[in-house]
Structure 1
Amino acid sequence: MEPFKVHILGCGSALPTLRHFPSAQVVEVRGKLFLMDCGEGTQIQLRRSRLRFTKISAVFISHLHGDHCFGLIGLLSTFGLLGRTAKLTVYSPAALATVMQQQMDTFCRDLEYEVDFIPVDTMVQQVVYEDRSLTVETIPLEHRVKCCGYLFREKPTLPHIRRDVADFYGIPVSQFDNIKAGADWTTAEGEVVANSRLTTPADAPRAYAYCSDTRYIPTLHERLKGVTTLYHESTYGEDNHLRAEKYFHSTAREAAMVARQAGVCQLLLGHYSSRYEDEQVLLREAQEIFPNSLLTDENKVFDV
């Protein structure tokens, strides 16, 4: 299967600590790289990850809180210093474009590439990006400011050719696309070889949902059907449940409830409050509800 990975660059929350960077991660899909949020230190973490700056084709910003976008202006400047010429598309709530344009006019006046800001409607779920193999949809979330997550879905692929059978019947490679599309094969002797003997089923499409800052939404799972891997913020444990409600955040237990209700394969926890020196307490609370819960950490890579 083609690579579909999540590279964690930062999984802390607003208050800086020595243990975690603010929110940022790279979604790698079939050789393409997409940056999810861009907190302070994202560039340093990109260097440590050994991911190529030049391969980032788009940036997705969930909301306009500093721990999710303070690193963006520095990244744009570095792209310029590296000689980038390819357009960079930034998907975000509409207000970011005005803020960033002011900064770019001051700090990035000589960029030799275009930065295209695409406003997203955080109130609706809709496709905002599409290419031959992938779609990206917004996921409406509920936070103190306009906020949305993003859902990456692979498009269905064609079946696989059974090379042993194809070689046995001497089928030329030039006919493989037709067979993948459903055609049978007729031998020189007139024998019809059914398509079902020539192919194996296509890989099931995978999907990754990035649910940034949000309070617990009882109906969120309805938007996540078919998701393979879910990242859901888990800022607090149950010991700070009232604080989570006050600041429109979620507990690890609530994140696990969403994962269980949505029927995902695995849950990634993140956006940890600086109050926790050991996130194991968050992991235990999540695993009581959804056993396949995992802690994110800087420089970890997860297969979707």
Structure 2
Amino acid sequence: MSLNLTILGCHSATPRVNAYPTSQFLEINNRHFLIDCGEGTQRQMRKYKVGFSKINHIFISHLHGDHFYGLVGLLSTYGILSREKELHVYGPEGIKEVTLLQLKISQSHAKYPIIFHELSSTESELIFEDKNISVRTIPLNHRVYTNGYLFTEKEKSKKLHLDNISNYEEIDKADYLNIKAGKDIVLSTGEVVPNSELTLPSKKLLSYAFCSDTKYKPDIIPLIKNADLLYHEATFLDDKKDLAKKTKHSTSKEAAQIAKDANVNQLVIGHYSGRYKDISLFRKEAQEIFENTELAEPGKTFKINAKD
């Protein structure tokens, strides 16, 4: 099992040459997700060879243009490409209305079904799961209703520890399905053989936390505790801490403090304000608090493999 994150865009609102607003492509446990869809996302998908047909679920953090103005263009392109599979779009209340209106006026809506999942809760909630992945919201604090998203692998069937199982004559192959499902075995004597003795240790389940635009919000720490990878916006350096607070954004140091307190494995920062010409300063400042910090840059990939 592995986690692969490709940064498509990572800058703040104002478009610039060779700088694109927020969008990411996530591959985790054989599932593929698009996270936010700022202007230029389609071009970046082509440039970095992200297969359009792989994406069946799109997660939009909030309805500021630099996070979703590329969505209607992408949906229109799917129509041109004769897509037939249904597409699920998750985002704040209003995303269905604004998107369908644009498609209607431009007469761009194709035949494939678009299923909108509109969000309004200020508490973390489970919004998607299948046999491989679960996705929960991370409520954030921005100028409009905003969520981050936590993507977590789901545990597959346990592997049998056949050497240990052979120590118990009563356990036969008919019990294997129950053991793989995590159940203990009760012998005829009444002795309970714990499942942990009959199965091999599971690999750590990988998780990715995406925290879009938000002011410093330490109450998200329990939600993202021990995540393997955390993306946290860092629009400003510490010299603009007051401006970050006013605009409900975070500084690089604040993002690093979240990462440290949540005990994540790696931090990626992005959403840089255009006022800064040298983004390496963001990494330098964050590393004063959290050493394992990397910069988001278009085309940059982050890969994490599961370990025992």
TM-score of the superposed pair, with normalisation by structure 2: 0.87
Contact 1:43/1:75, CA 8 A, preserved across alignment: yes
Q: Give the whole-Å Cα distance in 1 for the aligned partners of 2:302 and 2:174.
A: 36
Q: Give the whole-Å Cα distance in 1 for the aligned partners of 2:256 and 2:32.
A: 27
1:287 aligns with 2:272: no
Map Cα deviations across residues 42-85 of structure 1 (whole Å, 9 max, x no partner): 00111112121011011111001000001001000111111100
Map Cα deviations across residues 160-211 of structure 1 (whole Å, 9 max, x no partner): 4579999xxxxxx999756644699xxxxxxxxx987885311111111100
Match of 1:188 in 2: none
| Number of residue-to-residue matches in the alignment | 293
Contact 1:16/1:22, CA 8 A, preserved across alignment: yes
Q: Secondary structure at the match of 2:299?
A: coil
Match of 1:97 in 2: 96
1:87 aligns with 2:64: no
1:40 aligns with 2:42: no
Q: Give the whole-Å Cα distance in 2 for the aligned partners of 1:22 and 1:197.
A: 50
Q: Give the whole-Å Cα distance in 2 for the aligned partners of 1:65 and 1:204.
A: 35
Q: Which ranges in structure 1 are unaligned for 5 or more consecutive residues?
A: 167-172, 185-193
Match of 2:17 in 1: 18
For residue 266 of structure 2, what is the amino acid of its counterpart?
Answer: Q
Contact 2:79/2:108, CA 8 A, preserved across alignment: no
Q: Give the whole-Å Cα distance in 2 for the aligned partners of 1:277 and 1:284.
A: 14
Q: Which ranges in structure 2 are unaligned for 5 or more consecutive residues?
A: 166-172, 185-193
Q: Give the whole-Å Cα distance in 2 for the aligned partners of 1:64 and 1:183.
A: 45
For residue 38 of structure 2, what is the amino acid of its counterpart?
Answer: G
TM-score of the superposed pair, with normalisation by structure 1: 0.88
For residue 7 of structure 1, what is the amino acid of its counterpart?
Answer: T
1:255 aligns with 2:255: yes
Aligned pairs (5 A) from 1:141-290: 141-160=140-159, 180-181=180-181, 200-290=200-290
Q: Give the whole-Å Cα distance in 2 for the aligned partners of 1:272 and 1:122.
A: 28
Identify if the C-alpha distance between structure 1 residues 110 and 257 changes in structure 2 by more than 3 Å, giving closer, same or farther: closer
Please tell me the root mean square deviation across aligned C-alpha atoms, in Å: 2.6
Q: Secondary structure at the match of 1:253?
A: helix
Contact 1:130/1:136, CA 8 A, preserved across alignment: yes
Q: Give the whole-Å Cα distance in 2 for the aligned partners of 1:158 and 1:293.
A: 34
Tell me the CA shift for residue 117 of structure 1: 1.2
User: Identity, % of aligned pairs?
Assistant: 43
Contact 1:218/1:258, CA 8 A, preserved across alignment: yes
